A and B are shown apart, each in its own frame.
Chain A
Amino acid sequence: MKNIRFFRYLAYSLEILVFFILGSTPSLLPQIFGATPCILVALALTISVFESEIPAMVFGVICGVLTDLGFSNSIGTFTIALTICCFVLGFCSNNIITVNFLNVMITATVVITALLSLHFLFAIVLKGYDYAGSYFVNHYISRIVQTIICTAILYFINKFIYETLRD
């Protein structure tokens, strides 16, 4: 049992590493409306819905740290937010909500929109950049939509991993 769980966590870890590298490779992912998706955010959320709260939180921390390092060499908004979101999501998916595609997409849409809006607030608005609104229109809306689309794809990948390597 423990071995199967170990291999499932290993699969998630490799998945995170691969998507981190792919997401940061120059000229690999095309920019749509000036943005690429936050794949690791989508990945953390889709892992969380299949795991209990502690593993969900750990993968949330890992994805958050890697996402934050994509912006700067310090950890911040994404790490803290994903730690909390993934823990709550892990708990809710085991005790309150039924894990199915529709529920996951609704939850992910709310979380991703809130998370990226929060990042927009800290990274753009509070730094006092001029024309902050145009960043949101030109970049963040596109990024939110793309990340939600990625969530749909990653949901099925992680569902496959979970069901294949279930305890």
Chain B
Amino acid sequence: MKDFLKSNSVKFFLSTVFIVVLLSVFTSSIESNLLSSTVNSVTYPLSKVTAAATGDEDMTYAELLAEYEALKEENAQLRTQLVDYYDTLTENTRLWKFYDLKKEHPEYTLVPSVVLRKDSNDEFYSFTLDKGTTSDIAVGDPVVSENGLIGWVNEVDLTTCKVVTILSPQTSVGAIDSKSQDTGIITGSALYCDENLTTFTKLSAEHKVKAGDIITSTGISGLYPKGLIIGEVTDICYDTYNTSYYAVVKPYVDIRELKDLAIITDYTGQGEVLIKNGTGTQ
């Protein structure tokens, strides 16, 4: 044992642990690093293929077989058409989802994106999108679906970005009840994230929030555009820890099962409060 403790193996082991600890300290203090960029770049093509290969729904063997037969027949009919027909159709379908949003808010600069990886180890359903700094994505950019706010970009590298969803306690969005005009903060909760629910917290004791009310972003911080739909109130509860009321909010999409999204890279009023005050809430 004494010989072993003096061996090169132990010296190499201790050196490795030292380097790993140093790297750990170094990488935790910066938003994007060479290590994660390298891993993402190496696995990007394979992730792209596997992400495209998985469907939105779980299907039985019989359903898959029926679909296969139907597609086989359809394929024979479409063989004579252009080779890139399906690619164009898929792209159009994805972009159409955001057409209404773009029409309603022409000031938004939207970058359509596809979920590349689900961060399966994350408790709050965060995921990785296939757009990065090369598409002008920046940390803090809001991520939306055709039905409203989904989350925000937490980390970004050249070709990918990591999104934290509104189901996470890391999220803190200034929000308003569009009916009663009560304001509060949207943040995730351990009690509700598994049911695709988030919470509308910091409500005043005299609030008039009711089930069925629609919650939207206030936009006062300059981090999210004003009026982005977040979800619908399903319940009002009292938090005994914080001695305050909060509403349970159900987003209009299942955030756990998303495939096509858009990132808002620019909009009127973006970062105004941040610039004025130096800091601000999300």
Residues of A within 8 A of B (CB): 17, 20-30, 34, 36, 38, 53-54, 57, 61, 64-67, 69-76, 79-80, 83-84, 87, 91, 95, 123-124, 127, 129-132, 134-135, 138-139
Contacts and interface: CB of A to CB of B under 8 A. Distances in A.
Contact of A135 (B4, B55, B190, B241): B190
B33 interface: yes
A29 B120 contact: yes
Contacts of A24: 47, 117-120, 128
A30 B58 contact: yes
Contacts of B259: 26
A26 B51 contact: yes
B24 A76 contact: yes
Contact of B50 (A25, A70, A83, A130): A25
Interface residues of B, number: 51
Interface of B: 4, 9, 12-13, 16-17, 20-21, 23-24, 27-28, 30-33, 35-36, 39, 43, 46-47, 50-51, 53-56, 58, 115-123, 127-128, 155, 157, 162, 169, 189-191, 194, 241, 257, 259
A134 B190 contact: yes
Given A24-B117, A26-B51, A83-B16, A71 B190 contact: no
A33 B157 CA distance: 32
Interface of B is mostly: mixed
Given A24-B117, A69-B36, A17 B20 contact: no
Given A65-B35, A80-B17, A130-B169, A70 B122 contact: yes
A70 B51 CA distance: 15
B120 A23 contact: yes
A91 B7 CA distance: 12
A65 B39 contact: yes
Contact of B43 (A20, A27, A131): A20
Top 7 closest A-B pairs, CB basis? A74-B27, A73-B36, A131-B190, A25-B50, A24-B117, A70-B121, A26-B118
A130 B13 CA distance: 38
Contact of B191 (A73, A80, A123, A134): A134
Given A21-B43, A53-B13, A71 B122 contact: yes
A75 B30 CA distance: 11
Most B CB within 10 A of own CB, among A20, A69, A139: A69
Given A130-B189, A131-B191, A134-B190, 18 more contacts: A21-B50, A24-B119, A26-B259, A27-B55, A38-B121, A61-B16, A66-B39, A67-B121, A69-B35, A70-B122, A73-B31, A73-B32, A73-B36, A73-B162, A74-B33, A91-B4, A129-B169, A132-B190
B23 A75 contact: yes
A31 B108 CA distance: 35
Contacts of A130: 169, 189-191, 241
B9 A53 contact: yes
Nearest to B12: A54
Nearest to B157: A73
Most B CB within 10 A of own CB, among A24, A61, A73: A73
B190 A69 contact: no
Contacts of A131: 189-191
21 contacts: A21-B47, A21-B50, A25-B53, A26-B117, A27-B58, A34-B123, A54-B13, A69-B36, A70-B120, A70-B121, A71-B119, A74-B30, A75-B24, A83-B20, A84-B17, A91-B9, A124-B123, A129-B169, A130-B169, A135-B123, A138-B194
Most A CB within 10 A of own CB, among B39, B55, B56, B194: B194
B238 to A, nearest CB: 14
Nearest to A78: B121
Contact of B56 (A17, A27, A53, A79): A27
